[in-house]
Amino acid sequence: MLKLKQIIAQLPKSDFEKITDSFKRTKADNYHLLLISYREDKLPDAEIISLLNISSNSFYVLKSRLFNKIQEQLSENVFTTQEQLIKQLLQVPEVCFTMPRETATAFLTKLEKELLRFDLHNDLLVVYSALKKLHIHSEKYFYFSQQYNKHTALGLSLEKAEEILGNFNRILGQYSFSKNQQHLDTLNFLKNELNNLYSLNRSQQIEIIKYFVELQLNIFCIENKEAGLTTNETIQSAKKAFLELPETSPHKKWEIVLDYLTFEYYVSIEEYKTAERFYEKINNSISTLLLYNNICLTSNFLSSKIKFCCELNLTETLPKNPKETELYFDNQNTHALVLIGIYNSMLYYKQKKYKEAVTTLNNILNTVSFKDFFHESITIKLTLAFFYLIQKEFDLVDITLKSVSRKIKSEQLEKYYHILHLIKIFESEMNNSDKTKAAAKNRDLFTLFTANNKKNNEVLAHLIPDLKTKYYS
């Protein structure tokens, strides 16, 4: 143990008085007597033990606990707020050069203890760097050097995990638009790389990153074939990990992403009432939600929001105009750019502003290259064809449908055969044949379309509720 008597003697008067008053209020007489005795330095330990009427072992425990209480006073409420934490870390150089060594060491070791509790590796580097320098002539120098190196490695591991997560979300956006197997293989490779990193450093932050990767694979790809936790179990484990984070942790702000993924999970299994519990919180953060694009593919919320509101008859709660809500996003993020365009076009469509809806979709097609994103181009073009159909612009419907069907038949017939059923429905809408007979046939075709419009082959998620209403009613 550090020299307790020296530390008490070196305590600033204000700190000493605070500790003394605290012991008086709580009637901690033994602590108070020991504190006063060491401050005055008049009695040897044997006489203090006699006055306290305790054994030598109990006296040792009492000294240890008094030392802890002094440490707590020296770093009083350090972690109440992030601002206070930063303030304490900024004080480290001043503490090292203006306080006696014993007091400075007590301050730093208390700070070390709390930072270790919270897995704050980068902040620990400040503490261990200071402790190294304070012990340059001590045998403890080697120990603190080792700790500094260890937490440098841990900090780098966390940075690497966040880098993997960012790359994962970038590739996931590309996979979402292409459904390319090569992209899916890359996603699984990144997942395995993250698992390997976590096996070397089982920190809470990397554990949360691992959960985000697993949840997105399960919800958006349905490709996590390895035995493990179910999606619901993963959500619960992630919630527990967040509860264990301190309020000052920067990763605490990621909790909205977990709420979003939980919402997406319940929407994906069509438990809309359960999803509703998370919808309001996420929707209240919609302006900034897309800024989490390096942590999660949050731009998918725009499509899910339209589908969710239609399924629960909440379309009246949708904005009347896209300009009502400002969405902050990375304008280099193609995935967000396209989904914002589709979202805005649907808002116009819900207000029967069909020309604005069509213009918005055409702007997407004219500004974004879909050369490698045929899957997403199907969604946009079929939505466009549907809007043309409503306006009875049959020539434009025909041109749009032929460009899609030609590509499917020539290159990807097996994967997108169900799309041809929907195209037949749109084509029949343009004919003047028997409407009753056509309606029955369209209902059958739409059943075939929806039966195969699942997950990795799914298109038009934002429009499905409207198509159901039209062709199943």
Residue 78 has a pLDDT of 42
Whole-Å CA distances, 294 to 14, 161, 251, 333, 427: 47, 12, 13, 10, 41
> Which residue, of 10, 43, 74, is where some domain finishes?
74
Residue 40 has a pLDDT of 83
Cβ burial 158-170 (10 Å sphere, 16+ → b, else e): beebbebbeebbb
Look at residue 49 and tell me whether its pLDDT is greater than 50.
yes
Q: Identify whether the C-beta of residue 376 lies closer than 8 Å to the C-beta of residue 176.
A: yes
Whether residue 150 is contained in a domain is answered as no
Per-residue pLDDT reduced to its tens digit, 233-245: 999 999 999 998 8
Residue 35 has a pLDDT of 84
Residue 4 has a pLDDT of 81
Residue 434 has a pLDDT of 66
Among candidate residues 32, 30, 37, the one with its CA nearest the CA of residue 5:
37
Residue 30 has a pLDDT of 86
Which range has the top average pLDDT, 10-14, 24-28, 155-159, 223-227? Answer: 155-159
Q: What is the mean pLDDT of the chain?
A: 88
Least reliable range by pLDDT among 69-73, 140-144, 256-260, 287-291: 69-73
229's CB contacts (< 8 A; 6+ apart) are 214, 237
Residue 79 has a pLDDT of 44
Whether residue 460 is contained in a domain is answered as yes
Whether residue 159 is contained in a domain is answered as no
Residue 332 has a pLDDT of 93
- Give me the mean pLDDT over the 395-417 stretch: 90
342 vs 28: CA distance, rounded Å: 67
10 vs 8: CA distance, rounded Å: 5
In which band, very low, low, confident or very high, does the pLDDT at 77 lie, cut at 50, 70 and 90? very low
Whether residue 177 is contained in a domain is answered as no
426 vs 421: CA distance, rounded Å: 9
440 vs 71: CA distance, rounded Å: 79
Per-residue pLDDT reduced to its tens digit, 158-205: 999 999 999 999 999 999 999 999 999 999 999 999 999 999 888 889
Per-residue pLDDT reduced to its tens digit, 318-338: 999 898 889 999 999 999 999
Look at residue 427 and tell me whether its pLDDT is greater than 70.
yes
131 vs 105: CA distance, rounded Å: 7
Q: Count the alpha carbons within 13 Å of 86 in the hemisphere toward its beta carbon.
A: 6
- Residue located via tokens 């055969």: 417
Per-residue pLDDT reduced to its tens digit, 457-473: 889 999 999 999 888 86
Residue 473 has a pLDDT of 64
Whole-Å CA distances, 425 to 245, 337, 435, 446: 53, 30, 12, 7
Higher-pLDDT residue of 41 and 137 is 137
Provide the token pair at 302.
């725009």
116 vs 108: CA distance, rounded Å: 12
Residue 188 has a pLDDT of 96
Look at residue 226 and tell me whether its pLDDT is greater than 70.
no
| Domain around 19 | 1-74
> Which residue, of 38, 55, 74, is where some domain finishes?
74
465: how many CB neighbours lie within 10 A of its CB?
A: 18
Whether residue 226 is contained in a domain is answered as no
Residue 472 has a pLDDT of 80
Residue 432 has a pLDDT of 64
Q: Count the alpha carbons within 13 Å of 91 in the hemisphere toward its beta carbon.
A: 16
Residue 1 has a pLDDT of 47
126 vs 95: CA distance, rounded Å: 12
> Which residue, of 74, 97, 115, is where some domain finishes?
74
Among candidate residues 118, 203, 165, the one with its CA nearest the CA of residue 292:
165
Look at residue 16 and tell me whether its pLDDT is greater than 80.
yes
Higher-pLDDT residue of 67 and 274 is 274
Q: Identify whether the C-beta of residue 330 lies closer than 8 Å to the C-beta of residue 293.
A: yes
Residue 384 has a pLDDT of 97
Provide the token pair at 5.
């008597």
**Number of domains present in the structure of the chain:** 2
Whether residue 213 is contained in a domain is answered as no
In which band, very low, low, confident or very high, does the pLDDT at 44 lie, cut at 50, 70 and 90? confident
Helical pair 374-390 and 354-367, crossing angle rounded to 10 deg: 160
Which range has the top average pLDDT, 79-88, 145-154, 433-442? Answer: 145-154
Whether residue 417 is contained in a domain is answered as yes
Which range has the top average pLDDT, 12-21, 32-41, 67-76, 206-215? Answer: 206-215
Instruction: For residue 216, report the phi and psi dihedrals to the nearest 5 degrees.
Output: -70, -35
Whether residue 217 is contained in a domain is answered as no
Per-residue pLDDT reduced to its tens digit, 83-136: 566 677 888 888 888 888 888 888 898 888 877 776 677 888 999 999 999 999
Provide the token pair at 219.
């919800």
